[in-house]
Structure 1
Amino acid sequence: MTVSTNSDRQVQQLQELIQDINSGMLTTVNDDGSLHSCPMYSINEIDAEGRLWFFTSANSHRVSEIEQNQQVNVSFSSCEQQRYVSISGTAQLLKDRQKMAELWKPELETWFSQGLDQPDLALLQVNIKQADYWDSSSSYHPQTIKFS
């Protein structure tokens, strides 16, 4: 397994791995300790601090799970490109209207018909701790990108 540590390069490398994958599976921890996964439309933008963003309803079950246990995993896959990415970290809910306006994409209206005016619209901020990936260019040997 290869481990990468340069922060700017890490963000860029991970950004390139997920940039053309439109959705990921967000896994949270239920109250009883079991795992629960749901699909999330990906904005495909990782900021300089190593954070990944998703729009969500503030009243969703996933948000209540995250309030109890912030540990999450987001997995992305592209069978066509033989690329698989597993991101682990912690998540938190944000209701920052300025950040929402910055990240909003028209495609999100499929889930949030009122757009940025949706009453319970919020952001999930995933603080990336580590990303493991497999792709055809690495001969399926796992690669790891660690964030501080």
Structure 2
Amino acid sequence: MSDLASDIDRVWNLLEDIPVAMVVTHDGQGRNMRSRPMAARPARVEGFIYFLTDVDSPKAEEIRGNGTICLALADQTSRRYLSITGHAELMDDRDRIKQIWSIYDKAFWPDETDPRIRILRVTPESAEFWEGAGAVVTAVKLAAATLSGARMNLGANHKVEFDAR
């Protein structure tokens, strides 16, 4: 497997392991951005990341104005972090909604037939991920860097470009 294919595979593995993404959109009022936590539903084979949202939500309006989006995911326990930049679009796909619906979605809608639910589909364009050592190793590295005055190495960092569709 090439380095690029391996890195892209690693991005999908991280997406599957970290269930919540901070979804960052442009607020439509200037240069400001807004973020909110959302349950990510990666579809590796299709090359998309799905979310459920409400048709009337502020994020839906922001995406209609500017489809460039950033997803930020963090697993503090394992010191793994992922940032994805991509293109978002809203879809009214009732079959997909039923497919990815979970019991947790009942916190926002009565069931998967609610007409307000929309699919937020993200096509990844680029990603960057960081993977560090566990907490004990990180603490030892931090102490060593502090004592020696050397800069701390926080672990591997990779940038990945996805193929344009």
TM-score class, shorter: 0.7 to 0.9
- For residues 48-92 of structure 1, the C-alpha deviation after alignment (integer angstroms, 9 at most, x for no partner) is 242100000011000111111110000000100100000100100
User: What residue is the counterpart of 1:16 in the other structure?
Assistant: 13
Query: What is the rounded CA distance, in whole Å, between the counterparts of 2:3 and 2:105 in structure 1?
Result: 33
Aligned to 2:124: 128
Is the CA contact (8 Å cut-off) linking 1:84 and 1:134 kept in structure 2? Answer: yes
* C-alpha distance in 1 between matches for 2:156 and 2:7: 18
SS of 1:115 mapped into structure 2: coil
2:56 corresponds to: 59
Which amino acid is the alignment partner of residue 38 of structure 2?
M
Runs of 4+ in 1 over 4 A off after TM superposition: none
Larger Rg: 2
After superposing the two structures, state which structure 1 stretch, 133-142 or 116-125, moved more: 133-142
The two structures have a TM-score, normalised by structure 1, of 0.86
Q: Which amino acid aligns with 1:5?
A: L
> What is the percentage of aligned positions where both structures have the same residue?
23
SS at match of 2:45: coil
Task: Give a deviation string over 1:11-68, Cα, whole Å, max 9, x none.
Answer: 532221122322110000112121111111222x233242100000011000111111
Task: Give ranges in structure 2 of 5+ residues lacking alignment.
Answer: 134-152
Q: What is the aligned partner in structure 1 of residue 158 from structure 2?
A: 143
Give 1:26's aligned residue.
Answer: 23
Q: TM-score, normalised by structure 2?
A: 0.78
Q: Is the 8 A contact 2:7 2:158 kept in 1?
A: no
Higher fraction of helix: 2
Higher relative contact order (CA 8 A, sep 6+): 1
Q: Distance in 2 between matches of 1:140 and 1:88?
A: 22
Give the Å deviation of 1:119: 2.2
Alignment-mate amino acid for residue 141 of structure 1: A
The verdict on how the C-alpha distance between 1:102 and 1:84 changes in structure 2, with shifts beyond 3 A counting, is same
Matched, 1:37 2:35: yes
CA distance in 2, matches of 1:47, 1:83: 19
